Structure 1
Amino acid sequence: MASTDVIDRSTGVSKATANIPWLLVPALLFLIFVFGWPLLYLLRMSFNDHPGPTVYEEAWTLRNYIAVLTEPAMLTEIGKTVYISLVTAGITVVAAFFFAQFVWLREGSTRLIFLAIALGPMLISEVSVIVGWRLFFPYNGLLSYTLVSIGISSQKINLLGTEIAAIVGLSYISVSYCFFSILSVLNGIDRGLLTASADLGASPIRTFFSVLLPLAKGGIAAAFTQAFVFTMGIYATTNALGPDSLWTVPYEIQLQMLTRRNWPMASALAIVLILIIATAAVLTQWLRHRKGRRHV
Protein backbone atom coordinates (compact mmCIF):
# COMPACT_ATOMS: atom_id res chain seq x y z
CA MET A 1 0.00 0.00 0.00
CA ALA A 2 1.36 3.40 -0.92
CA SER A 3 2.20 5.76 1.87
CA THR A 4 0.01 8.81 2.25
CA ASP A 5 2.82 10.77 3.89
CA VAL A 6 4.01 13.42 1.44
CA ILE A 7 7.71 14.34 1.54
CA ASP A 8 8.85 17.89 0.96
CA ARG A 9 11.72 17.52 -1.55
CA SER A 10 13.37 20.78 -0.49
CA THR A 11 13.65 19.87 3.20
CA GLY A 12 13.30 16.10 3.21
CA VAL A 13 10.68 16.37 5.98
CA SER A 14 7.19 14.99 5.67
CA LYS A 15 4.34 17.46 5.77
CA ALA A 16 2.75 15.52 8.63
CA THR A 17 5.90 15.97 10.67
CA ALA A 18 6.09 19.65 9.79
CA ASN A 19 2.59 20.17 11.14
CA ILE A 20 3.38 18.63 14.53
CA PRO A 21 4.52 21.92 16.16
CA TRP A 22 1.15 23.45 15.36
CA LEU A 23 -0.51 20.61 17.23
CA LEU A 24 1.42 21.64 20.32
CA VAL A 25 0.06 25.19 20.30
CA PRO A 26 -3.12 24.40 22.33
CA ALA A 27 -1.07 22.63 25.00
CA LEU A 28 1.43 25.51 25.03
CA LEU A 29 -1.36 28.07 25.43
CA PHE A 30 -2.85 26.00 28.24
CA LEU A 31 0.48 25.91 30.08
CA ILE A 32 0.95 29.65 29.65
CA PHE A 33 -2.53 30.39 30.94
CA VAL A 34 -2.49 27.94 33.86
CA PHE A 35 1.15 28.29 34.97
CA GLY A 36 2.72 31.25 33.20
CA TRP A 37 0.21 33.94 34.14
CA PRO A 38 0.05 32.98 37.87
CA LEU A 39 3.85 32.89 37.95
CA LEU A 40 4.07 36.40 36.51
CA TYR A 41 1.48 37.58 39.04
CA LEU A 42 3.51 35.95 41.82
CA LEU A 43 6.65 37.69 40.58
CA ARG A 44 4.89 41.05 40.48
CA MET A 45 3.47 40.52 43.98
CA SER A 46 6.96 39.89 45.36
CA PHE A 47 7.94 43.51 44.57
CA ASN A 48 4.97 45.00 46.44
CA ASP A 49 5.12 46.41 49.95
CA HIS A 50 3.40 45.34 53.16
CA PRO A 51 2.77 48.48 55.22
CA GLY A 52 0.80 46.87 58.02
CA PRO A 53 -2.92 46.17 58.23
CA THR A 54 -3.41 45.70 54.49
CA VAL A 55 -2.41 42.53 52.67
CA TYR A 56 -0.16 44.46 50.28
CA GLU A 57 0.40 47.85 48.76
CA GLU A 58 1.33 48.47 45.13
CA ALA A 59 5.03 49.27 44.92
CA TRP A 60 8.32 48.36 43.26
CA THR A 61 10.74 47.47 46.02
CA LEU A 62 13.48 44.90 46.65
CA ARG A 63 12.86 44.98 50.39
CA ASN A 64 11.33 41.50 50.46
CA TYR A 65 14.20 39.87 48.55
CA ILE A 66 16.76 41.69 50.69
CA ALA A 67 15.05 40.36 53.80
CA VAL A 68 14.91 36.80 52.42
CA LEU A 69 18.57 36.80 51.43
CA THR A 70 20.04 38.65 54.42
CA GLU A 71 17.97 37.97 57.55
CA PRO A 72 19.52 35.12 59.61
CA ALA A 73 16.13 33.50 60.29
CA MET A 74 15.28 33.36 56.58
CA LEU A 75 18.72 32.01 55.65
CA THR A 76 18.41 29.37 58.36
CA GLU A 77 15.05 28.27 56.94
CA ILE A 78 16.49 28.06 53.43
CA GLY A 79 19.45 26.06 54.74
CA LYS A 80 17.20 23.66 56.65
CA THR A 81 14.96 23.19 53.63
CA VAL A 82 17.88 22.38 51.35
CA TYR A 83 19.45 20.12 54.00
CA ILE A 84 16.29 18.11 54.63
CA SER A 85 15.64 17.84 50.89
CA LEU A 86 19.19 16.65 50.13
CA VAL A 87 19.20 14.06 52.92
CA THR A 88 15.74 12.83 51.96
CA ALA A 89 16.65 12.66 48.28
CA GLY A 90 19.81 10.70 49.05
CA ILE A 91 18.04 8.15 51.24
CA THR A 92 15.14 7.86 48.84
CA VAL A 93 17.31 7.30 45.78
CA VAL A 94 19.42 4.63 47.50
CA ALA A 95 16.32 2.73 48.64
CA ALA A 96 14.57 3.19 45.29
CA PHE A 97 17.62 2.07 43.31
CA PHE A 98 18.17 -1.21 45.14
CA PHE A 99 14.46 -1.98 45.10
CA ALA A 100 14.29 -1.13 41.38
CA GLN A 101 17.30 -3.34 40.71
CA PHE A 102 15.65 -6.18 42.61
CA VAL A 103 12.41 -5.82 40.63
CA TRP A 104 14.32 -5.42 37.35
CA LEU A 105 15.89 -8.85 37.82
CA ARG A 106 12.55 -10.54 38.57
CA GLU A 107 10.21 -12.10 36.01
CA GLY A 108 6.52 -12.92 35.63
CA SER A 109 4.05 -12.66 38.50
CA THR A 110 6.76 -11.92 41.07
CA ARG A 111 7.66 -8.75 39.19
CA LEU A 112 4.00 -7.70 39.01
CA ILE A 113 3.55 -8.19 42.75
CA PHE A 114 6.50 -5.93 43.57
CA LEU A 115 5.34 -3.34 41.04
CA ALA A 116 1.97 -3.28 42.81
CA ILE A 117 3.76 -2.81 46.15
CA ALA A 118 5.73 0.09 44.69
CA LEU A 119 2.50 1.74 43.54
CA GLY A 120 1.12 1.72 47.09
CA PRO A 121 2.59 5.01 48.37
CA MET A 122 1.38 6.80 45.22
CA LEU A 123 -2.20 5.79 45.97
CA ILE A 124 -2.20 7.17 49.52
CA SER A 125 -2.82 10.84 50.27
CA GLU A 126 -0.29 12.90 52.20
CA VAL A 127 -2.75 13.28 55.10
CA SER A 128 -3.10 9.51 55.42
CA VAL A 129 0.67 9.13 55.34
CA ILE A 130 1.04 11.68 58.15
CA VAL A 131 -1.59 9.97 60.30
CA GLY A 132 0.01 6.57 59.74
CA TRP A 133 3.51 7.69 60.73
CA ARG A 134 2.15 9.60 63.73
CA LEU A 135 0.76 6.28 64.97
CA PHE A 136 4.08 4.55 64.27
CA PHE A 137 6.68 6.85 65.87
CA PRO A 138 5.34 8.05 69.26
CA TYR A 139 6.15 6.77 72.76
CA ASN A 140 3.28 4.26 72.69
CA GLY A 141 3.42 3.69 68.94
CA LEU A 142 4.00 0.55 66.91
CA LEU A 143 7.74 1.08 66.57
CA SER A 144 8.31 1.49 70.30
CA TYR A 145 6.09 -1.48 71.11
CA THR A 146 7.88 -3.70 68.57
CA LEU A 147 11.38 -2.80 69.76
CA VAL A 148 10.48 -3.56 73.38
CA SER A 149 8.65 -6.78 72.46
CA ILE A 150 11.55 -8.31 70.55
CA GLY A 151 14.11 -7.20 73.13
CA ILE A 152 16.05 -4.67 71.07
CA SER A 153 15.20 -1.88 73.50
CA SER A 154 14.56 -2.13 77.22
CA GLN A 155 12.40 0.99 77.31
CA LYS A 156 9.99 2.74 75.00
CA ILE A 157 11.27 5.38 72.64
CA ASN A 158 9.66 8.34 70.97
CA LEU A 159 10.81 9.44 67.50
CA LEU A 160 7.82 11.66 66.77
CA GLY A 161 8.90 15.27 66.56
CA THR A 162 12.41 14.46 65.35
CA GLU A 163 14.21 15.02 62.06
CA ILE A 164 14.33 11.23 61.60
CA ALA A 165 10.53 11.04 61.56
CA ALA A 166 10.32 13.94 59.10
CA ILE A 167 12.88 12.37 56.75
CA VAL A 168 11.17 8.96 56.89
CA GLY A 169 7.79 10.51 56.09
CA LEU A 170 9.18 12.56 53.21
CA SER A 171 11.08 9.55 51.84
CA TYR A 172 7.96 7.41 51.94
CA ILE A 173 6.04 9.95 49.88
CA SER A 174 8.70 10.33 47.17
CA VAL A 175 10.20 6.82 46.98
CA SER A 176 7.68 5.45 44.46
CA TYR A 177 8.36 8.24 41.96
CA CYS A 178 12.09 7.62 42.21
CA PHE A 179 11.57 3.87 41.92
CA PHE A 180 9.71 4.09 38.62
CA SER A 181 12.17 6.64 37.23
CA ILE A 182 15.11 4.37 37.95
CA LEU A 183 13.29 1.23 36.83
CA SER A 184 12.56 2.82 33.45
CA VAL A 185 16.30 3.40 33.05
CA LEU A 186 17.20 -0.13 34.13
CA ASN A 187 14.70 -1.54 31.64
CA GLY A 188 16.78 0.02 28.87
CA ILE A 189 19.94 -1.81 29.95
CA ASP A 190 20.82 -5.20 28.46
CA ARG A 191 21.04 -7.73 31.30
CA GLY A 192 23.54 -9.67 29.21
CA LEU A 193 26.12 -7.03 30.10
CA LEU A 194 25.99 -8.20 33.72
CA THR A 195 26.41 -11.82 32.62
CA ALA A 196 29.31 -10.88 30.35
CA SER A 197 31.01 -9.01 33.17
CA ALA A 198 30.70 -12.04 35.44
CA ASP A 199 31.99 -14.35 32.68
CA LEU A 200 35.07 -12.14 32.34
CA GLY A 201 35.83 -12.67 36.02
CA ALA A 202 34.42 -9.53 37.62
CA SER A 203 32.96 -9.89 41.08
CA PRO A 204 29.35 -8.83 41.73
CA ILE A 205 30.56 -5.68 43.50
CA ARG A 206 32.87 -4.74 40.62
CA THR A 207 30.10 -5.44 38.12
CA PHE A 208 27.80 -3.17 40.09
CA PHE A 209 30.24 -0.24 40.24
CA SER A 210 31.86 -0.69 36.82
CA VAL A 211 28.90 -1.74 34.67
CA LEU A 212 25.47 -1.21 36.20
CA LEU A 213 26.06 2.04 38.09
CA PRO A 214 27.63 3.96 35.15
CA LEU A 215 24.82 2.89 32.83
CA ALA A 216 22.15 3.97 35.32
CA LYS A 217 23.92 7.14 36.46
CA GLY A 218 21.73 9.46 34.40
CA GLY A 219 18.56 7.93 35.80
CA ILE A 220 19.89 8.11 39.34
CA ALA A 221 20.66 11.81 38.90
CA ALA A 222 17.17 12.41 37.52
CA ALA A 223 15.55 10.51 40.40
CA PHE A 224 17.68 12.37 42.95
CA THR A 225 16.58 15.75 41.62
CA GLN A 226 12.99 14.55 41.37
CA ALA A 227 13.01 13.64 45.06
CA PHE A 228 14.82 16.88 45.93
CA VAL A 229 12.30 19.03 44.06
CA PHE A 230 9.34 17.09 45.46
CA THR A 231 10.61 17.44 49.03
CA MET A 232 11.38 21.14 48.66
CA GLY A 233 7.69 21.93 48.16
CA ILE A 234 6.21 19.91 51.04
CA TYR A 235 5.55 21.46 54.43
CA ALA A 236 2.68 19.47 55.99
CA THR A 237 4.68 16.27 56.50
CA THR A 238 7.71 18.12 57.84
CA ASN A 239 5.57 20.18 60.19
CA ALA A 240 3.52 17.22 61.45
CA LEU A 241 6.35 14.72 61.97
CA GLY A 242 9.41 16.89 62.57
CA PRO A 243 10.44 19.05 65.54
CA ASP A 244 8.96 22.48 66.16
CA SER A 245 12.32 24.04 65.31
CA LEU A 246 12.31 22.55 61.81
CA TRP A 247 10.91 25.54 59.96
CA THR A 248 11.20 25.16 56.21
CA VAL A 249 10.60 27.63 53.39
CA PRO A 250 7.19 26.14 52.41
CA TYR A 251 6.06 26.40 56.04
CA GLU A 252 7.25 30.01 56.21
CA ILE A 253 5.37 30.78 52.97
CA GLN A 254 2.06 29.55 54.35
CA LEU A 255 2.76 31.39 57.62
CA GLN A 256 3.41 34.68 55.82
CA MET A 257 0.45 34.15 53.51
CA LEU A 258 -2.26 32.98 55.92
CA THR A 259 -1.23 34.11 59.39
CA ARG A 260 0.77 37.30 58.93
CA ARG A 261 -1.08 38.31 55.77
CA ASN A 262 2.17 39.43 54.19
CA TRP A 263 1.63 38.39 50.59
CA PRO A 264 4.69 40.18 49.14
CA MET A 265 7.06 38.39 51.53
CA ALA A 266 5.38 35.04 50.83
CA SER A 267 5.72 35.69 47.10
CA ALA A 268 9.40 36.56 47.42
CA LEU A 269 10.01 33.34 49.35
CA ALA A 270 8.13 31.38 46.71
CA ILE A 271 10.22 32.92 43.92
CA VAL A 272 13.45 32.06 45.74
CA LEU A 273 12.18 28.51 46.24
CA ILE A 274 11.29 28.25 42.54
CA LEU A 275 14.78 29.46 41.58
CA ILE A 276 16.39 26.79 43.77
CA ILE A 277 14.16 24.13 42.24
CA ALA A 278 14.82 25.42 38.71
CA THR A 279 18.56 25.25 39.34
CA ALA A 280 18.21 21.63 40.41
CA ALA A 281 16.12 20.85 37.32
CA VAL A 282 18.68 22.44 34.98
CA LEU A 283 21.46 20.51 36.67
CA THR A 284 19.46 17.30 36.19
CA GLN A 285 19.03 17.96 32.49
CA TRP A 286 22.74 18.59 32.14
CA LEU A 287 23.60 15.35 33.92
CA ARG A 288 21.04 13.39 31.92
CA HIS A 289 22.40 14.55 28.56
CA ARG A 290 26.00 14.23 29.66
CA LYS A 291 25.84 10.88 31.48
CA GLY A 292 22.60 9.07 30.84
CA ARG A 293 21.36 10.22 27.47
CA ARG A 294 21.05 6.74 26.02
CA HIS A 295 18.94 5.33 28.83
CA VAL A 296 16.80 8.19 30.18
Structure 2
Amino acid sequence: MSARRSLSAEWLLLPAIAFTTVVFGWPLLILLRMSFNQHPPDGIYVEAWSLENYVAVLTEPANLSAVFDTLYIALVTAVVTVAAAFLFAQFVWLRQGKRRAMLLALALGPMLVSEISVIIGWRMVLPSNGLLSWSLFASGLIDRKFNLLGTEFAAVLGLAYISMPYCFFTILGVLNGIDRTLLTASGDLGASPWRTFFKVLLPLAKGGIASAFTQAFVFTMGIYATTNALGPDGLWTVGYEIQRQMLSRRDWPLASALAVVLVLLIALVALGVQALRHRKAPRHG
Protein backbone atom coordinates (compact mmCIF):
# COMPACT_ATOMS: atom_id res chain seq x y z
CA MET A 1 0.00 0.00 0.00
CA SER A 2 2.81 2.40 0.91
CA ALA A 3 4.64 1.60 -2.35
CA ARG A 4 1.49 2.40 -4.32
CA ARG A 5 1.12 5.73 -2.51
CA SER A 6 4.77 6.57 -3.17
CA LEU A 7 4.34 5.79 -6.87
CA SER A 8 1.21 7.97 -7.01
CA ALA A 9 3.10 10.85 -5.41
CA GLU A 10 5.88 10.54 -7.99
CA TRP A 11 3.36 10.66 -10.82
CA LEU A 12 1.86 13.82 -9.32
CA LEU A 13 5.28 15.44 -9.53
CA LEU A 14 5.65 14.78 -13.25
CA PRO A 15 3.69 17.88 -14.45
CA ALA A 16 5.84 20.14 -12.25
CA ILE A 17 9.04 18.46 -13.44
CA ALA A 18 7.97 18.75 -17.07
CA PHE A 19 7.05 22.41 -16.64
CA THR A 20 10.39 23.19 -14.97
CA THR A 21 12.32 21.33 -17.66
CA VAL A 22 10.60 23.16 -20.51
CA VAL A 23 10.54 26.65 -18.99
CA PHE A 24 13.98 26.64 -17.34
CA GLY A 25 15.94 23.67 -18.67
CA TRP A 26 15.52 24.30 -22.39
CA PRO A 27 16.54 28.00 -22.28
CA LEU A 28 19.54 27.02 -20.15
CA LEU A 29 20.63 24.54 -22.81
CA ILE A 30 20.27 27.23 -25.49
CA LEU A 31 22.34 29.57 -23.32
CA LEU A 32 25.01 26.90 -22.88
CA ARG A 33 25.15 26.24 -26.62
CA MET A 34 25.43 29.96 -27.39
CA SER A 35 28.41 30.29 -25.04
CA PHE A 36 30.51 28.08 -27.36
CA ASN A 37 29.83 30.20 -30.44
CA GLN A 38 32.14 32.92 -31.74
CA HIS A 39 31.59 36.65 -32.14
CA PRO A 40 32.44 37.99 -35.61
CA PRO A 41 33.51 41.64 -36.05
CA ASP A 42 30.46 42.46 -38.20
CA GLY A 43 27.74 40.37 -36.58
CA ILE A 44 26.27 38.91 -33.42
CA TYR A 45 27.54 35.32 -33.50
CA VAL A 46 28.58 32.47 -35.75
CA GLU A 47 28.04 28.86 -34.79
CA ALA A 48 31.15 27.13 -33.50
CA TRP A 49 32.45 24.92 -30.72
CA SER A 50 35.04 27.13 -29.09
CA LEU A 51 36.21 27.70 -25.50
CA GLU A 52 37.52 31.20 -26.20
CA ASN A 53 34.61 32.86 -24.39
CA TYR A 54 35.28 30.93 -21.18
CA VAL A 55 38.99 31.67 -21.52
CA ALA A 56 38.11 35.36 -21.80
CA VAL A 57 35.91 35.17 -18.70
CA LEU A 58 38.62 33.48 -16.64
CA THR A 59 41.64 35.44 -17.89
CA GLU A 60 40.66 38.98 -18.88
CA PRO A 61 41.03 41.40 -15.92
CA ALA A 62 37.74 43.18 -16.58
CA ASN A 63 35.74 39.94 -16.52
CA LEU A 64 37.57 38.58 -13.48
CA SER A 65 36.99 41.86 -11.66
CA ALA A 66 33.28 41.64 -12.46
CA VAL A 67 33.13 38.07 -11.11
CA PHE A 68 34.96 38.92 -7.88
CA ASP A 69 32.96 42.13 -7.34
CA THR A 70 29.72 40.21 -7.81
CA LEU A 71 30.73 37.51 -5.33
CA TYR A 72 31.92 40.09 -2.82
CA ILE A 73 28.83 42.30 -2.92
CA ALA A 74 26.50 39.27 -2.91
CA LEU A 75 28.18 37.65 0.09
CA VAL A 76 28.27 40.89 2.10
CA THR A 77 24.65 41.65 1.26
CA ALA A 78 23.53 38.11 2.12
CA VAL A 79 25.23 38.23 5.53
CA VAL A 80 23.83 41.68 6.35
CA THR A 81 20.34 40.78 5.11
CA VAL A 82 20.14 37.47 6.98
CA ALA A 83 21.39 39.03 10.22
CA ALA A 84 18.85 41.87 10.05
CA ALA A 85 16.05 39.56 8.87
CA PHE A 86 16.68 37.09 11.70
CA LEU A 87 16.60 39.77 14.39
CA PHE A 88 13.42 41.28 12.95
CA ALA A 89 11.81 37.85 12.51
CA GLN A 90 12.63 36.95 16.11
CA PHE A 91 11.12 40.23 17.28
CA VAL A 92 7.91 39.58 15.32
CA TRP A 93 7.81 35.93 16.41
CA LEU A 94 7.63 36.95 20.05
CA ARG A 95 4.74 39.36 19.46
CA GLN A 96 1.00 38.66 19.35
CA GLY A 97 -2.21 40.29 18.17
CA LYS A 98 -2.43 43.62 16.37
CA ARG A 99 1.21 44.49 16.97
CA ARG A 100 2.31 41.35 15.14
CA ALA A 101 -0.09 42.09 12.25
CA MET A 102 1.28 45.63 11.91
CA LEU A 103 4.87 44.34 11.84
CA LEU A 104 3.98 41.77 9.18
CA ALA A 105 2.37 44.50 7.08
CA LEU A 106 5.53 46.58 7.50
CA ALA A 107 7.65 43.65 6.32
CA LEU A 108 5.49 43.30 3.21
CA GLY A 109 6.16 46.91 2.20
CA PRO A 110 9.35 46.42 0.13
CA MET A 111 7.70 43.59 -1.82
CA LEU A 112 5.04 46.00 -3.08
CA VAL A 113 7.56 48.46 -4.54
CA SER A 114 9.40 47.99 -7.84
CA GLU A 115 13.19 48.00 -8.05
CA ILE A 116 13.14 51.31 -9.94
CA SER A 117 11.10 52.92 -7.18
CA VAL A 118 13.56 51.61 -4.59
CA ILE A 119 16.46 53.11 -6.53
CA ILE A 120 14.75 56.48 -6.85
CA GLY A 121 13.86 56.47 -3.16
CA TRP A 122 17.41 55.77 -1.96
CA ARG A 123 18.81 58.34 -4.39
CA MET A 124 16.64 60.91 -2.60
CA VAL A 125 17.92 59.84 0.81
CA LEU A 126 21.65 59.13 0.43
CA PRO A 127 23.25 62.14 -1.40
CA SER A 128 24.81 65.08 0.45
CA ASN A 129 21.67 67.12 -0.29
CA GLY A 130 19.41 64.15 0.44
CA LEU A 131 16.96 63.59 3.26
CA LEU A 132 19.33 61.77 5.62
CA SER A 133 22.24 64.21 5.44
CA TRP A 134 19.96 67.26 5.49
CA SER A 135 18.00 66.00 8.53
CA LEU A 136 21.13 65.28 10.56
CA PHE A 137 22.68 68.61 9.59
CA ALA A 138 19.51 70.56 10.36
CA SER A 139 19.19 68.89 13.77
CA GLY A 140 22.76 69.83 14.68
CA LEU A 141 23.96 66.24 15.05
CA ILE A 142 26.61 66.80 12.35
CA ASP A 143 28.48 69.95 11.38
CA ARG A 144 28.85 69.14 7.68
CA LYS A 145 26.80 67.23 5.15
CA PHE A 146 27.99 63.87 3.82
CA ASN A 147 27.36 61.81 0.71
CA LEU A 148 26.65 58.07 0.81
CA LEU A 149 25.50 57.74 -2.79
CA GLY A 150 28.03 56.02 -5.01
CA THR A 151 29.51 53.90 -2.22
CA GLU A 152 29.52 50.17 -1.50
CA PHE A 153 27.43 50.93 1.59
CA ALA A 154 24.67 52.36 -0.61
CA ALA A 155 24.78 49.33 -2.92
CA VAL A 156 24.53 46.89 0.00
CA LEU A 157 21.76 48.96 1.59
CA GLY A 158 19.66 48.96 -1.58
CA LEU A 159 20.18 45.27 -2.25
CA ALA A 160 19.44 44.32 1.36
CA TYR A 161 16.25 46.39 1.31
CA ILE A 162 15.00 44.49 -1.75
CA SER A 163 15.88 40.99 -0.50
CA MET A 164 14.98 41.54 3.18
CA PRO A 165 11.26 40.56 2.99
CA TYR A 166 11.99 37.20 1.37
CA CYS A 167 14.58 36.33 4.00
CA PHE A 168 12.33 37.58 6.78
CA PHE A 169 9.35 35.40 5.86
CA THR A 170 11.60 32.37 5.27
CA ILE A 171 13.10 32.67 8.75
CA LEU A 172 9.78 33.54 10.38
CA GLY A 173 8.22 30.41 8.90
CA VAL A 174 10.92 28.31 10.60
CA LEU A 175 10.60 30.17 13.89
CA ASN A 176 6.84 29.61 13.91
CA GLY A 177 7.53 25.87 14.03
CA ILE A 178 9.72 26.14 17.16
CA ASP A 179 8.20 25.41 20.56
CA ARG A 180 8.68 28.56 22.63
CA THR A 181 8.64 26.58 25.83
CA LEU A 182 12.14 25.37 24.91
CA LEU A 183 13.42 28.90 25.43
CA THR A 184 11.61 29.13 28.74
CA ALA A 185 13.00 25.77 29.82
CA SER A 186 16.53 26.86 28.92
CA GLY A 187 16.15 29.94 31.11
CA ASP A 188 14.69 27.91 33.96
CA LEU A 189 17.73 25.62 33.84
CA GLY A 190 20.03 28.57 34.41
CA ALA A 191 21.07 29.54 30.88
CA SER A 192 21.53 33.24 30.19
CA PRO A 193 19.55 34.89 27.36
CA TRP A 194 22.67 34.95 25.19
CA ARG A 195 23.40 31.27 25.84
CA THR A 196 19.77 30.39 25.07
CA PHE A 197 20.02 32.37 21.85
CA PHE A 198 23.21 30.71 20.62
CA LYS A 199 22.70 27.19 22.00
CA VAL A 200 18.94 26.72 21.57
CA LEU A 201 17.36 29.16 19.15
CA LEU A 202 20.07 29.38 16.49
CA PRO A 203 20.53 25.59 16.09
CA LEU A 204 16.77 25.12 15.77
CA ALA A 205 16.53 27.89 13.17
CA LYS A 206 19.65 27.02 11.16
CA GLY A 207 17.59 25.53 8.34
CA GLY A 208 15.73 28.80 7.82
CA ILE A 209 18.96 30.80 8.12
CA ALA A 210 20.66 28.67 5.46
CA SER A 211 17.66 28.97 3.13
CA ALA A 212 17.45 32.73 3.68
CA PHE A 213 21.18 33.15 3.03
CA THR A 214 20.94 31.18 -0.21
CA GLN A 215 17.89 33.19 -1.23
CA ALA A 216 19.57 36.54 -0.56
CA PHE A 217 22.78 35.46 -2.30
CA VAL A 218 21.00 34.21 -5.43
CA PHE A 219 18.77 37.27 -5.52
CA THR A 220 21.71 39.66 -5.20
CA MET A 221 23.85 37.86 -7.78
CA GLY A 222 21.20 38.46 -10.44
CA ILE A 223 20.51 42.14 -9.75
CA TYR A 224 22.61 44.78 -11.47
CA ALA A 225 20.42 47.89 -11.75
CA THR A 226 20.45 48.66 -8.02
CA THR A 227 24.19 48.07 -7.72
CA ASN A 228 24.89 50.20 -10.77
CA ALA A 229 22.62 53.05 -9.68
CA LEU A 230 23.60 53.25 -6.01
CA GLY A 231 27.13 51.82 -5.89
CA PRO A 232 30.46 53.28 -7.03
CA ASP A 233 31.30 53.57 -10.71
CA GLY A 234 34.05 50.97 -10.42
CA LEU A 235 31.72 48.31 -9.03
CA TRP A 236 30.89 46.27 -12.14
CA THR A 237 28.89 43.13 -11.54
CA VAL A 238 28.52 40.14 -13.85
CA GLY A 239 24.90 41.10 -14.48
CA TYR A 240 25.92 44.55 -15.68
CA GLU A 241 28.69 43.08 -17.85
CA ILE A 242 26.19 40.64 -19.43
CA GLN A 243 23.89 43.54 -20.22
CA ARG A 244 26.77 45.53 -21.71
CA GLN A 245 27.95 42.65 -23.88
CA MET A 246 24.41 41.86 -25.08
CA LEU A 247 23.18 45.37 -25.88
CA SER A 248 26.28 47.50 -26.45
CA ARG A 249 28.85 45.15 -27.99
CA ARG A 250 26.34 42.64 -29.41
CA ASP A 251 28.62 39.83 -28.22
CA TRP A 252 26.05 37.19 -27.37
CA PRO A 253 28.52 34.30 -26.99
CA LEU A 254 30.61 36.11 -24.36
CA ALA A 255 27.47 37.28 -22.56
CA SER A 256 26.23 33.68 -22.53
CA ALA A 257 29.54 32.43 -21.13
CA LEU A 258 29.33 35.04 -18.37
CA ALA A 259 25.77 33.92 -17.62
CA VAL A 260 26.83 30.25 -17.45
CA VAL A 261 29.67 31.13 -15.07
CA LEU A 262 27.20 33.13 -12.97
CA VAL A 263 24.82 30.15 -12.76
CA LEU A 264 27.70 27.84 -11.78
CA LEU A 265 28.86 30.22 -9.05
CA ILE A 266 25.34 30.43 -7.63
CA ALA A 267 25.01 26.64 -7.70
CA LEU A 268 28.39 26.13 -5.99
CA VAL A 269 27.61 28.57 -3.19
CA ALA A 270 24.12 27.11 -2.71
CA LEU A 271 25.55 23.58 -2.50
CA GLY A 272 28.23 24.76 -0.09
CA VAL A 273 25.66 26.37 2.21
CA GLN A 274 23.52 23.23 2.19
CA ALA A 275 26.58 21.07 2.91
CA LEU A 276 27.46 23.22 5.92
CA ARG A 277 23.85 23.07 7.06
CA HIS A 278 23.77 19.27 7.08
CA ARG A 279 27.28 18.79 8.47
CA LYS A 280 27.20 16.96 11.77
CA ALA A 281 28.93 18.50 14.74
CA PRO A 282 32.07 16.59 15.82
CA ARG A 283 31.70 14.36 18.82
CA HIS A 284 33.85 15.10 21.85
CA GLY A 285 35.05 12.45 24.20
TM-score normalised over the length of structure 1: 0.91
Tell me if structure 2 keeps the 8 A contact 1:218–1:287.
no
- Tell me which stretches of 4 or more aligned residues in structure 1 moved more than 3 Å: 287-291
Report deviation, 1:214.
Answer: 1.6
State whether structure 2 residue 64 is matched by structure 1 residue 75: yes
RMSD of aligned Cα (Å)? 1.3
What residue is the counterpart of 1:145 in the other structure? 134
Q: Superposed, which structure 2 residues align to 1:219-230 within 5 Å?
A: 219-230=208-219
In structure 1, distance between residues paired with 2:87 and 2:48: 52
Find the structure with the greater CA-based Rg.
Answer: 1
Measured against aligned partners, the alpha-carbon deviations of 1:165-211 in whole angstroms (never above 9, x if no partner) come to 11100000001111111111111111111111111111111111111
Moved more, 278-287 or 258-267: 278-287
Give the drift of 1:17.
Answer: 4.5
1:99 aligned partner:
88
Amino acid at match of 1:86: L
CA distance in 1 between partners of 2:45 and 2:273 (Å): 36
Q: Which residue of the partner structure matches residue 240 of structure 2? A: 251
Amino acid in structure 2 at the alignment position of 1:26: P
Q: How big is the shift at 1:20? A: 2.5
Aligned to 2:159: 170
The percent identity for this pair of structures is 68
Q: How does 1:1-296 map to 2 (within 5 A)?
A: 7=1, 12-13=2-3, 15-290=4-279
The C-alpha deviation readout for 1:17-43, integer Å capped at 9, x for no partner, is 522322222222221111111100000
Give the gaps of 5 or more residues in structure 2: 281-285
Unaligned runs of at least 5 residues, structure 1: 1-6, 292-296
Between the aligned partners of 2:147 and 2:238, the Cα distance in structure 1 is 26
CA distance in 2 between counterparts of 1:185 and 1:27 reads 25
| Contact 1:222-1:288 within 8 A present in 2 as well | no
Q: CA deviation at 1:222?
A: 1.6
Q: What is the distance in 2 between the residues matched to 1:16 and 1:136? A: 57
Equivalent residue letter for 2:219: F
Alignment partners' CA distance in 1, 2:12 and 2:198: 44
Distance in structure 1 (CA, Å) of the matches to 2:125 and 2:13: 47
| Matched residue type, 1:190 | D
- TM value normalised by structure 2: 0.95
What amino acid maps onto 2:105 in structure 1?
A
